[in-house]
Amino acid sequence: MAGSSTSYYFVIIGTKDNPLYEAEFGSFKQGGDGIPKFREEQRHMNQFIAHSSLDCIEDQQWASKEMYLKTVDKFNNTWVSCFLTGGNIKFLLVHDTRSDEPIRQFFADVYDLYCKTLMNPFYEVNMAIRSQTFDQKIKAAAKKYL
């Protein structure tokens, strides 16, 4: 199973549809090693898939009261899950197996981390997130839930 374990592409999108942060990780579940197994041509496809899902999100965002919109788009065997913050910042996760609950928990942690980043006086809305601590914590959250 380890060879075919799930891989994830995670991106935070700002209010102007600009990317703020991106990361790739593999699953730690079922003996996964946490290393993403995307094929090289898949990696930039992920960015396209995430980007093209933004329209779907706009269609769906007013239909739900929840911030977690679950899967919003599907392309071949890839799903896109979305979490929309009150400030219209989007967390997108591109993944190749469906599992709503762990992703919800992951997004909840990310939301927490994002809020803390936003509280940093030197950080401004829509600024790319370069903090290494943030990066490490996101990866720790991924390891915990995905």
Partner 1 sequence: MSSTSRARLGEEVWKLRTDKINAELVTLTYGSVVAQLCKDLDGDYAEVNKQLDKMGYNIGLRLIEDFLAKSNMQQKCANFRDTADVISKVGFKMFLNITPTIVNWSSDNKQFSLLFDENPLADFVELPDDGKAQSDLWYSNMLCGVIRGALEMVQMSVDAHFVSDVLRGNDTTEMRINLIRYIEDEMPQDDE
Residue ranges that bind partner 1, judged by CB under 8 A: 116, 119-123, 130-131, 133
What's the maximum distance between 2 C-alpha atoms anywhere in the chain? 45
Q: How far is the CB of 137 from partner 1 (least distance, A)?
A: 12
Alpha carbons 137 and 135: distance in angstroms, whole number: 5
Nearer to partner 1, 3 or 121 (CB): 121
Closest approach of partner 1 to the CB of residue 128, in Å: 12
Residue number with CB closer to partner 1 (43 or 130):
130
Contact (CB, 8 A) for 2 and 31: yes
Is-contact 15 125, C-beta < 8 A? Answer: yes
Give the closest residue to 146 by CA, choosing from 92, 102, 83, 80: 102
Instruction: State in angstroms the smallest separation of the CB of 122 from partner 1.
Output: 5
Name the residue nearer to partner 1 (CB basis): 4 or 133: 133
